[in-house]
Structure 1
Amino acid sequence: MSLKPKPVTVFGVPTDVGAGTRGASMGPEALRVAGLVEALASRGVEVADRGDVAGPRNPWMPPVEGYRHLDEVVAWNRAVMEMSAAELAAGRMPVMLGGDHCLAMGSITAVARHCRAQGKRLRVLWLDAHADFNTSAITPSGNVHGMPVACLCGLGPDALVNLGGQGPMISPADVRQIGIRSVDPEEKRLVREHGLDIYDMRYIDEVGMKQVMEEALAGIDADTHLHVSFDVDVLDPSIAPGTGTRVPGGLDYREAQLMMEMIADAGGADSLDVVEVNPALDKRNRTARLAVDLVESLFGKSTLMRD
């Protein structure tokens, strides 16, 4: 399958409102400094950087009724949803630069609505160390960046579940999670109960990335919209230190490259999130530069002699 030659819109979302550590708000600029827009343009992609969407400041408060900064999280996600929806309607591919991973609620809500309107099926690849399937009942922190998949699947506060109209926006059957290695005990129970399709690090170790990607991409066709939600903490901290929720034992460089190359081989993504880059915790913008390298592979740059 060849890559879809769709024009791309990049936009930043400079907030860490859903996170437990400050600094992801600087992620969009770190990715720009690392040359993300130029890297896509050099691949022949027609790319426009729309700048950053606007939203409220991060108040950095403790949880209220199980959620930290819920009003601010809703406001930022609404801004993401509106920007993503406008670009999808214009026939462009939205690339959201986060910010923390709670922002995927806005981008995926827009994509899910777009798929319904177009009569397309949705496949979400969730590349992450965490399942992000927490609810306020099972997480003491109240950090909403641990809840986006649950909210999208209908488990969460009304303001997020129904962000784009009557939720849930997606079904667990739409999601494939890759690289998972940190799931809370009660979250494990919820994940099993809802039948989430998880390719954890043990499974990747056992069968290899090639088989994992073949399984995760199985059934994708011309009527499928593929959304890739790329949290840089899916990568091992030894190669990607600049993120707020580091978990040892993540993807190495070759596994991550193969994952992105196989997505490109399958036709590429139709929308993309790049989130949780935290330059305050990084070394000389190393994590953002690696993220740009991997996004290039997602857009068809092969590290092998196959071009």
Structure 2
Amino acid sequence: MYKFPNRQTWQGRVDSKIDKDSFRIHQRVICNSTDDDFESAFCLVGFESDEGVRRNKGRIGAAKAPDEIRKSLGKLPYLFEDTASIIDVGNVVCEGESLEAAQAELADRVDQIFNKRSTPIILGGGHETLYGHYLGIRKYVGENTSIGIINIDAHFDLRQDSRPSSGTMFRQILEQDKQAGYLCLGIQPFGNTKSLFQVAEQLGCIYVLEESLALHNIQKQYGVIDQFCNQYDVIIVTLCTDSIASSAAPGVSAPSPFGLDPVVVRTLLRHIVAKENVCSFDISEVNPLLDENGRTTKLAAYLVAEVLHNFNNTVQ
């Protein structure tokens, strides 16, 4: 089901109604359907789903995240160029257990956004968001274009379960799409079984362990990222919030005590999304029902703002 954007979600402090340099994001966001006429915009599309998390035996609540992230994002200063329009195009809603139908709907909306020469910024939802995101990219670029996926995550999400879930997406993609590749940043040894490491090797995944991504040596991993990006025509970026240390991001389905520092995640995103072949971004696994004083939601909003600010060097 597709739900139109709600203007009332975008509220916050107003320092001026005239001086654009004093505006906050909520004052500049435009609410449209993906069926409306627009082009050359960042399009925020939500995916209200935690059915994949439920199937993966995780803690549900991520379906509430898209609008909560919007509320925090809207309060931040608008630091972008006037040409960098931000359009809220509403949410795709997973009704009941109909995850596959919701992922197909998200794919259609992502395809529509690309056809309007715009950039999808997807607010999940469980990490099953990524599969619908990927389907939309593949639909738009066709079968002969190679797609690289960069996932910032504590987990491989390469499980082989009886039904697709938030833990199966990358295996689904890699087994059905020989033109796709996978780089995972932030993998935690105690977050993945030996079997999953073996599957990662078998499927040709590239990964960097969490302990190799400390702030003082993060630039050593830029070579891995750059080489991966150079191998593919287009790059999808996906951030699973459970990759971040639970002290900073308590409101997630699977907290990580030894997760990444938020500054490391911000630094990685700045480097990655500035690349010319990066075409889209999603953030997943924020769970407002488990959050403490909105800390994780606010962090997610700041990270989305960083992506908007640094995407392909189109905004200052």
Report the TM-score, using the length of structure 2 for normalisation.
0.76
How far has the Cα of 1:199 moved from its partner?
Answer: 0.9
1:247 to 240, 244, 256: 256
1:94 is aligned to: 120
1:227 to 236, 242, 262: 236
How far has the Cα of 1:171 moved from its partner?
Answer: 4.8
**Ranges in structure 2 where 5+ consecutive residues have no aligned partner:** 1-38
- Say if 2:217 is the partner of 1:208: yes
Equivalent residue pairs, number: 266
For residues 170 and 220 of structure 1, the distance between their equivalents in structure 2, rounded to whole angstroms, comes to 16
Say if 2:44 and 2:120, in contact at 8 Å, map to a contact too: yes
User: Structure 1 residues 190 and 171 mapped into 2: Cα distance closer, same or farther (>3 Å)?
Assistant: farther
SS state of the match for residue 185, structure 2? strand
SS state of the match for residue 236, structure 2? strand
2:173 is aligned to: 152
User: Structure 1 residues 192 and 41 mapped into 2: Cα distance closer, same or farther (>3 Å)?
Assistant: same
Q: String of CA shifts for 1:37-66, please: whole Å, max 9, x gaps.
A: x65954232111011123312xxxxxxxxx
- Say if 2:187 is the partner of 1:187: no
Say if 1:265 and 1:300, in contact at 8 Å, map to a contact too: no
How far has the Cα of 1:178 moved from its partner?
Answer: 0.5
- Say if 2:167 is the partner of 1:136: no
2:73 is aligned to: 35
User: Structure 1 residues 194 and 283 mapped into 2: Cα distance closer, same or farther (>3 Å)?
Assistant: same
1:66 is aligned to: none
For residues 82 and 41 of structure 1, the distance between their equivalents in structure 2, rounded to whole angstroms, comes to 29
Say if 1:77 and 1:106, in contact at 8 Å, map to a contact too: yes
For residues 263 and 42 of structure 2, the distance between their equivalents in structure 1, rounded to whole angstroms, comes to 26
Report the TM-score, using the length of structure 1 for normalisation.
0.78
How far has the Cα of 1:94 moved from its partner?
Answer: 1.0
User: Structure 1 residues 12 and 127 mapped into 2: Cα distance closer, same or farther (>3 Å)?
Assistant: same
1:293 is aligned to: 302
For residues 268 and 177 of structure 2, the distance between their equivalents in structure 1, rounded to whole angstroms, comes to 26
SS state of the match for residue 25, structure 1? helix
Percent identity (aligned) = 19
- Say if 2:141 is the partner of 1:115: yes
SS state of the match for residue 207, structure 2? strand
For residues 300 and 207 of structure 1, the distance between their equivalents in structure 2, rounded to whole angstroms, comes to 23
SS state of the match for residue 87, structure 2? strand
Matches within 5 A, 1:8-23: 8-19=42-53, 20-23=58-61
For residues 287 and 269 of structure 1, the distance between their equivalents in structure 2, rounded to whole angstroms, comes to 25
1:218 is aligned to: 227
For residues 233 and 78 of structure 2, the distance between their equivalents in structure 1, rounded to whole angstroms, comes to 25
The one-letter code matched in structure 1 to 2:254 is T
* Coordinate RMSD, CA, aligned: 2.7
SS state of the match for residue 144, structure 1? coil
The one-letter code matched in structure 2 to 1:33 is K
SS state of the match for residue 135, structure 1? coil
Say if 1:40 and 1:296, in contact at 8 Å, map to a contact too: no
The one-letter code matched in structure 1 to 2:184 is Q
User: Structure 1 residues 33 and 207 mapped into 2: Cα distance closer, same or farther (>3 Å)?
Assistant: closer
User: Structure 1 residues 136 and 218 mapped into 2: Cα distance closer, same or farther (>3 Å)?
Assistant: same
Say if 2:252 and 2:286, in contact at 8 Å, map to a contact too: yes
The one-letter code matched in structure 1 to 2:149 is V
User: Structure 1 residues 196 and 131 mapped into 2: Cα distance closer, same or farther (>3 Å)?
Assistant: same
The one-letter code matched in structure 1 to 2:113 is E
For residues 170 and 301 of structure 2, the distance between their equivalents in structure 1, rounded to whole angstroms, comes to 24
1:164 is aligned to: none
How far has the Cα of 1:16 moved from its partner?
Answer: 0.7
Deviation above 6 Å: which 4+ runs of structure 1? none
Q: String of CA shifts for 1:63-89, please: whole Å, max 9, x gaps.
A: xxxxxx4xx221111111111111112
For residues 277 and 170 of structure 1, the distance between their equivalents in structure 2, rounded to whole angstroms, comes to 31
SS state of the match for residue 70, structure 2? helix
